[in-house]
Structure 1
Amino acid sequence: MAISSERVHELLRTFREYLKEKGFEIYPFKVGWYNAVLTAAHHLQYPADTLAVLVISTPAMFERSFLPFLQSQSCESLRDPIDQCTAHTLSDCISLCFANQSVDVSYDYEMLPSRKPKFLAQTAAHVSGAAYYYQKSDIHNPPWGEKKMFGVCVHPQLGGWFAIRALLVFRDVQAGADFQQRDPADCVCTQEERIRLLESFNLCWQDWSYRDIVPAEERYSDQQKQYFITPPGQRRALLRQWGYLTDTQS
């Protein structure tokens, strides 16, 4: 049975508040909105009105969730610590808020047996209204010819200072007709700005200038920047240097 828009937000209220305290945001949408803009090969295999929720991390996640997670010594040696933290936080929250719901969870790093991602994160961000997905097709006369240019999402309050972490699908919850799609904020309005955004993201992403394409209300701390600019293979050594990992966790 379909539930009203008010009931959708009521269902998610405690979950949203809990995750906000942990440095995450959520954005609900219908599976059909996502499938409508993709080829069948990338469709989510649920009825069109099925409720889905996108989860993103804000800059606050690092200090509110990640560092406390490391201090709890819950980190497993073979997995990425940020991924572990996200999975641990979401698992706890889902168990707390949705004990009687059937919720399928997919993480941004997970792949299908076909080696395709379980979901297209930036497309999900766009259709959920979380962040506008700027692509080459948004440029009227692209100056790069046939050169491939990857798209990038921009959050209206956070710019590029966020990350898409997970997709939740409520298998038994259908959102009603009054649950309407909200377009993401088009905060990079001019063609010149869009060209600069895509060039910054594709040609010099290491300097992170694309993240500041719009003024951000919150940015990564210096410690968080140091962590993410460190090559993944060296991050555990950095965490040991900071005193967050012991030799038995290395």
Structure 2
Amino acid sequence: MAATNANVEVMGKTGLLKDSLAKVGFEVYPLKVGWYNSVLPLSLRLAYPDDTLAMVVLSTPAMFEHAFLPFMEERGCQKLSDPIDQCVKHCISSAVSECFPGQEVDVSYDYELLPSRKPKFLAQTAAHVSGAAFYYQPSDVRDHPWAEKKMFGVCVHPRFGGWFAIRALLVFGGVTVDSEMVQPDPPDCVPSREGRIQLLEAFNFHWQDWTYRDIVRPVQIYSQKQKDYFSTPPAQRFALLKTWGFLPREGDQPDSTTDAQSQVTGHG
């Protein structure tokens, strides 16, 4: 660590943030901005020095029951944006404010876009370089069979398989870490060529049936209620929540643009 009081104070409180978010079903993994920037073209890099501290936040299967349903019970939701996004933002922003009062923290959420329509950060890349989850891509498959097809990559968590989501990236402006912080390798949960082909084909061609999420034996999966929620098209989720007894705040109107966007970026 660089020997400044601000750095020492922030690093000393990272455990508090992890503990706070763990209680409501999130995991936090630290990384250096340079690890992220080193694998991306200049146009996608973060505008911070390489030794700046960052953290990637994941939601686990427990988030739905420990954070989302209590959030809906206590606060309800605004129909102007996706309910899960509202809950995630509330949980993360509250924990950051409590653990790091007065500290500059740039929080980017997985659903946020830049004016260019590019995502504010590449979630799966951030998870991979932090060691949280292995980002499997076609380039990771020797002599892959998809030369003529556009195939998307997918992250696999060592304990949850595909039953998780990458929610946010926190960047601590002005907080630097030294060379003693060693980049961890993400656990290679699917080491065989056959397994990687199975994973990528299940994700790209049959993602609706959930099977890609079970590529490794997970310690926990989504509850049936959570599966029902994420299986419901975003535009119909407010109606589902209403059947569960959760009513939107009065005066709010649905935003079809947000619904359409969440259909692309706001999956579980």
User: TM over 0.5, yes or no?
Assistant: yes
Say if 2:127 and 2:134, in contact at 8 Å, map to a contact too. Answer: yes
Residues 1:192 and 1:123: Cα distance change in structure 2 (over 3 Å): same
| d(CA) in 2 for partners of 1:107, 1:2 | 28
Q: Deviations over 1:81-130 (max 9, x none)?
A: 00000001111111100003110000001011111100000000100001
| d(CA) in 2 for partners of 1:246, 1:35 | 40
Q: Which residue is 1:173 aligned to?
A: 175
Instruction: Report the CA distance between 1:164 and its aligned residue.
Output: 0.4
Say if 2:60 and 2:163, in contact at 8 Å, map to a contact too. Answer: yes
Q: Which residue is 1:211 aligned to?
A: 213
Residues 1:85 and 1:196: Cα distance change in structure 2 (over 3 Å): same
Q: Does 1:52 align with 2:51?
A: no
| d(CA) in 2 for partners of 1:76, 1:33 | 37
Q: Which residue is 2:35 aligned to?
A: 33
Residues 1:30 and 1:133: Cα distance change in structure 2 (over 3 Å): same
Q: Give identity over the alignment, percent.
A: 60
Greater shift in the superposed pair: 2-11 or 228-237: 2-11
Say if 2:161 and 2:213, in contact at 8 Å, map to a contact too. Answer: yes
Instruction: Report the CA distance between 1:75 and its aligned residue.
Output: 1.4
Q: Which residue is 2:113 aligned to?
A: 111
Instruction: Report the CA distance between 1:235 and its aligned residue.
Output: 0.3
Amino acid at match of 1:46: Y
| d(CA) in 1 for partners of 2:44, 2:220 | 33
Say if 2:77 and 2:248, in contact at 8 Å, map to a contact too. Answer: no
Q: Which residue is 2:257 aligned to?
A: none
SS of the aligned residue for 1:200 comes to helix
| d(CA) in 2 for partners of 1:96, 1:247 | 26
- 5+ residue gaps, structure 1, are none
Give the aligned CA root-mean-square deviation in angstroms: 1.7
Q: Which residue is 1:239 aligned to?
A: 241
Say if 1:3 and 1:175, in contact at 8 Å, map to a contact too. Answer: no
| d(CA) in 2 for partners of 1:135, 1:212 | 17
TM-score normalized by the length of structure 1: 0.96
Greater shift in the superposed pair: 53-62 or 239-248: 239-248
Instruction: Report the CA distance between 1:143 and its aligned residue.
Output: 1.1
| d(CA) in 2 for partners of 1:202, 1:180 | 33
Instruction: Report the CA distance between 1:7 and its aligned residue.
Output: 7.3
- 5+ residue gaps, structure 2, are 254-268
Q: Which residue is 1:145 aligned to?
A: 147
TM-score normalized by the length of structure 2: 0.90
| d(CA) in 2 for partners of 1:10, 1:59 | 28
Q: Does 1:16 align with 2:18?
A: yes
| d(CA) in 1 for partners of 2:152, 2:72 | 33
Q: Which residue is 1:87 aligned to?
A: 89
Say if 1:73 and 1:245, in contact at 8 Å, map to a contact too. Answer: no
